[in-house]
Chain A
Amino acid sequence: MRQTRSVEIGTGLFVLLGMSALFFLTTQTTGGDDFQAESVYMVEARFENVGSLRQRAPVTMSGVTIGRVTDVTFDPVSLEAVVQFVIDAKFDRIPDDTDASILTSGILGSQYIGLQAGGSDMYLEEGSEILFTQSAIILENLIGKFLVNSGSSDEESN
């Protein structure tokens, strides 16, 4: 009897420890989605170039995640990338002349959309489109420009 008891206690401890390890792994090590909203509204923006922006990328305002990219498609007529994203319905007072730019977190980080508030009295709502957008900065293009510029400045100095 005594032995069964210690076996049961040992097993209980072991299973408890295992469960808490599982719990720790699933909840504490994965940030997963820090964006959770009860209701959202969909906004659209057109970009010349979205770089490596993908679905589920965060949409931030002043550095706080307020939404998430739901779809990135290509418009065959206007030849632009169309990015659809949802914003938490709590934030319903974002001016409709807000501008959206595609930014990179850190030097090797993933890309996200940063919103910069405008000054209009009209607010973004379901289905509205952000008109002022700034494309992703492509490193190769930047280097290309830099090389061209430095070449021309050399010529000037000569």
Chain B
Amino acid sequence: MRRSVQDIYENSFEFLRTFGAFQLFFLRLLRYSPGIFFSRFDLVVKQVYNTGALSLVIIMVCGLFVGAVLALQAYSNMSVFNAEDWTGVAAAFALVKELGPVLTAILFAGRAGTALTSEIGLMKATDQLSAMEMMAVNPVRRVLVPRFLGGVIAMPLLAAIFSGIGLFGAHLVGVELFQVDVGSFWQQIQLTLEIDDVREGIIKSCVFGVAASLIAVWEGYNAVPTAEGVGRATTRTVVITAIAILVFDFMITAALI
């Protein structure tokens, strides 16, 4: 009995400590970010390539099909009210405000976040990070910050590509397949969608980009330096990122309404 109470105490204490360390880690990354961004831009470019350009295929294919299925669902429901023109509006709203940022962030965690975590975790397991410290190179500056920045830059762009391709998918289904008039399809979108809606999507994707990259980098840096530890850290990246993103999504939506 006494033992379990002590366990709870220690565990909650440990949780609090980890949470605090996470915040301090974030601040540390932020402090180094401007310096790295301006002095070692080549490193950042390489990471934008790794996290962004290499995620393009999955983002574009998923975006196309998500947009297409949204239009499919919207059409079958809208046609009940003879409001087929609104097919595009339903798809556009869902894509720009919610599914674009959220699905991109979750796919990003699966494609790029895991790659970051395992790369950094493996660097740690093979003592590359310690070797850097021995050479008086700060591994947080040299390894973590460029990867964090790369993710932060890539994520909003990926989300925009996802929404854009998704609208194209909706166009394919709505206009080409179901013969909704192309003029009213796009006019209705333009009339209904406002710049604030797009802004909401952009704000979300920026926040998700910071959250997803931060979690991936943190998990990699704090992975237990064994094969099993790196595997666990990679899994945790996906789980924690998915939860964090959905919670943030709710909070941002509630704040912006």
Compute how far the CA of A31 lies from the CA of B42 in the bound complex, rounded to whole angstroms: 39
Q: Is the CB of B195 within 8 A of A26?
A: yes
Nearest to A22 among chain B residues (CB) is: B160
Min CB distance B45 to A, Å, is 5
Residues from chain B with Cβ under 8 Å of A24 in the complex: 160, 164
Q: Is the CB of B56 within 8 A of A30?
A: no
Partner of B49 from the list A11, A18, A22 (CB cut-off 8 Å) is A11
Q: Is the CB of A29 within 8 A of B193?
A: yes
Partner of A14 from the list B46, B48, B195, B198 (CB cut-off 8 Å) is B48
Q: Summarize A's interface: helix, strand, loop or mixed.
A: helix
Partner of A11 from the list B53, B189, B191, B195 (CB cut-off 8 Å) is B53
Q: Mark B179-193, 1 if CB is under 8 A from A, else 0.
A: 000000001011101
Instruction: List which A5-54 residues lie within 8 A (CB) of chain B.
Output: 7-8, 10-11, 13-15, 17-22, 24-26, 28-32
Question: Contacts A15-B48, A22-B202, A25-B201 hold; do A30 and B53 have CB atoms under 8 A apart?
Answer: no
Nearest to B92 among chain A residues (CB) is: A29
Min CB distance A105 to B, Å, is 9
Q: Is the CB of A21 within 8 A of B52?
A: no
Q: Is the CB of B164 within 8 A of A25?
A: yes
Residues from chain B with Cβ under 8 Å of A10 in the complex: 49, 53-54
Min CB distance A56 to B, Å, is 10
Residues from chain A with Cβ under 8 Å of B190 in the complex: 28-31
Asked if B213 CB lies within 8 Å of chain A CBs, one says no
Q: Is the CB of A18 within 8 A of B198?
A: no
Instruction: List which B59-91 residues lie within 8 A (CB) of chain A.
Output: 83
Interface centre among A4, A14, A29, A31 (most CB of B within 10 A): A29
Partner of B45 from the list A11, A17, A25 (CB cut-off 8 Å) is A11
Instruction: List which B189-225 residues lie within 8 A (CB) of chain A.
Output: 189-191, 193-195, 197-198, 201-202
Instruction: List which B149-179 residues lie within 8 A (CB) of chain A.
Output: 153-154, 156-158, 160-161, 163-165, 167
Q: Is the CB of B193 within 8 A of A21?
A: no
Residues from chain B with Cβ under 8 Å of A28 in the complex: 190
Min CB distance A17 to B, Å, is 6
B residues at A contact (CB < 8 Å): 42, 45-46, 48-49, 52-54, 56, 83, 92, 96, 153-154, 156-158, 160-161, 163-165, 167, 187, 189-191, 193-195, 197-198, 201-202
**7 extra interface residue pairs, beta carbon distance < 8 Å, beyond A18-B52, A25-B163:** A10-B54, A11-B52, A15-B153, A21-B161, A29-B96, A29-B189, A30-B195
Top 4 A-B residue pairs of the complex, sorted by shortest distance between their CB atoms: A18-B157, A31-B190, A21-B164, A14-B53
